[in-house]
Amino acid sequence: MSSTSAVPNAADLQVKKVDASEITYEQFFEEHWKAGVPLVFKNATKVWGAYNTWSPDYLRKRFGDRKTIVNGTTYTMSEILDLVEGKDTSRPVPYPCKFHIPTQLPELVQEVTPLNIGYAKPNWLESSWFKRGYWGSALEMFIGGVGGKFPYVHLDYYHLSAWVNQLYGHKEFTVWPRGQEQYLYPEPGDKWKSGIPDIENVDLNKFPLYAKATPIKFVVGPGETLFIPFGIWHTAKSLEPTISVAFDLLNAQNFPLFLKDVWGFKKQNGMLKGVAATAYAGIGGVLCKTGDLLGLQRNSGHN
């Protein structure tokens, strides 16, 4: 791989799959993190206890009675797995089914350690400073059934970069290169969400600019990790029963946009709260950047 930080033209953008043993951290940082180019790692999660371990039977056996809420309804782990595997056909399969690992499945934290898998670093969200409060990030397990898909095309809040670690089953992702926002019709009241209701069947009479968009589809399978840089519109669909772990990345590269978003979100609760949250985040950024310069090693955890 050549080392370059140039952003490719939308027409030239490809989402490559690379074995983790064949790309260095420095190459990844230059060619993907700085350049804003998604990448699928193969075998990056081999460092996790969850690799080749997590399955519906594994989760059902250990956490069958553990509960979560999906669209206002409470489900146990066993109920969700029975639905996604088709063992229970009496009601629709809910989506997205999420478990917040640190609070709902804390026993599994050690099985996704080190969280940074050697590439998602430095991650300021691992610092104690940014673990206080909610900044749009979370360490979550997603469980999906056949055809289960994210309800809309979106950007991740706070300009965080996303890491999706596929541990069971195959999931189809679609991404749109940076700079195609206008083609995706962001909602007036929520610029992070596309107003196109069905991205697989777009009504070009109603959304004519979408004809200029260049969606890129690809499949991520067990043992593969997708890196989605901040500012990349995306959505996902399960092709079969799936289990994945998602977390976010923040550091000096996306911090200026993150700080701007903190102000934009928090001021909605009042100017004083906006000022306080932005000041807090600003100080945290300075401390984290200083820590990076000093070579500080953070605990590989997440909120």
Q: Quick check: is 300 in a domain?
A: no
- Residue 10's pLDDT is 56
**Ramachandran sector of residue 62 (left: φ over 0; alpha: ψ -120 to 50; beta: rest):** alpha
In the chain, DSSP finds a helix count (H) and a strand count (E) of 7, 14
Total number of domains constituting the chain: 1
Say whether pLDDT at 134 is over 90: no
**Residues shown for the chain:** 303
- One-letter amino acid at 211 equals A
What's the pLDDT score for residue 229?
96
Query: What's the DSSP call for residue 21?
Result: G
The per-residue DSSP string of 117-178 comes to TTTS-S-GGGSHHHHSS--S---EEEEE-TT-B-SS-BPPGGG-EEEEEEEES-EEEEEE-T
**Confidence tier at 174 by pLDDT (50, 70, 90):** very high
Choice among 150-154, 182-186, 211-215 with the minimum mean pLDDT: 150-154
> 123 φ, ψ to 5°?
-120, 105
End-to-end CA distance of the chain: 34
**Owner of token pair 């590269």:** 253
pLDDT of the residue at 163: 98
Closest alpha carbon to 78 in 66, 91, 90: 66
Whether 247 is covered by a domain: the verdict is yes
Asked if the model's pLDDT at residue 241 lies above 90, the reply is: yes
Q: What is the mean pLDDT of the segment spanning 160-164?
A: 97
Residue 223 within a domain: yes
Q: What's the CA gap between 257 and 243, in Å, rounded?
A: 31
Q: Flag whether 3 is in a domain.
A: no
Q: Is 213 inside a domain boundary?
A: yes
CA quadruple 69, 73, 78, 82: dihedral sign = negative
Evaluate if residue 2 carries a pLDDT over 50. no
Per the domain annotation, does 302 fall within a domain?
Answer: no
Q: Which two tokens stand for residue 39?
A: 């990448």
pLDDT of residue 11: 54
pLDDT tens, residue by residue, 252-292:
999 999 999 999 999 998 999 999 999 999 999 999 999 99
Q: What is the pLDDT of residue 3?
A: 36
Is the pLDDT at 166 greater than 70, yes or no? yes
Max mean pLDDT range (147-151, 157-161, 294-298): 157-161
Give the whole-angstrom CA distance, residue 118 versus residue 60: 30
Q: How many other β-carbons are positioned within 10 Å of the β-carbon of residue 242?
A: 25
Greatest Cα pair distance, the chain, in angstroms, is: 57
Q: Which pair of structure tokens corresponds to residue 219?
A: 């499949």
User: Which range marks the domain in which residue 114 is found?
Assistant: 10-293
Query: What are the backbone angles phi and psi of residue 3, rounded to the nearest 5°?
Result: -100, 115
Residue 302 pLDDT level (bands cut at 50, 70, 90)? low
What's the whole-model pTM score? Answer: 0.91
Residue with tokens 């706070």: 158
Predicted local distance difference test score (pLDDT) of residue 199? 95
E strands along 138-283, which residues?
Answer: 140-144, 161-168, 171-176, 186-187, 190-194, 216-220, 224-228, 233-238, 242-249
5: in domain? no
Quick: pLDDT tens for 195-208.
Answer: 999 999 999 999 99
Contact 227, 32 (CB under 8 A): yes
What's the mean per-residue pLDDT of the chain?
92
13: tokens are: 């953008």
The CATH number of whichever domain residue 69 belongs to comes to 2.60.120.650
- Tell me the torsion sign for CA atoms 37, 40, 42, 44: positive
Confidence of residue 118 (pLDDT cuts 50, 70, 90): very high
pLDDT value at 1 more than 60: no
Note whether residue 1 is domain-resident.
Answer: no
Any idea which of 68-72, 136-140, 251-255 has the lowest mean pLDDT? Answer: 136-140
C-beta of residue 95 within 8 angstroms of C-beta of residue 145:
yes
| pLDDT-derived band at 5, boundaries 50, 70, 90 | very low
Q: Is the dihedral of CA 24, 227, 288, 178 positive or negative?
A: positive
pLDDT value of residue 4: 36
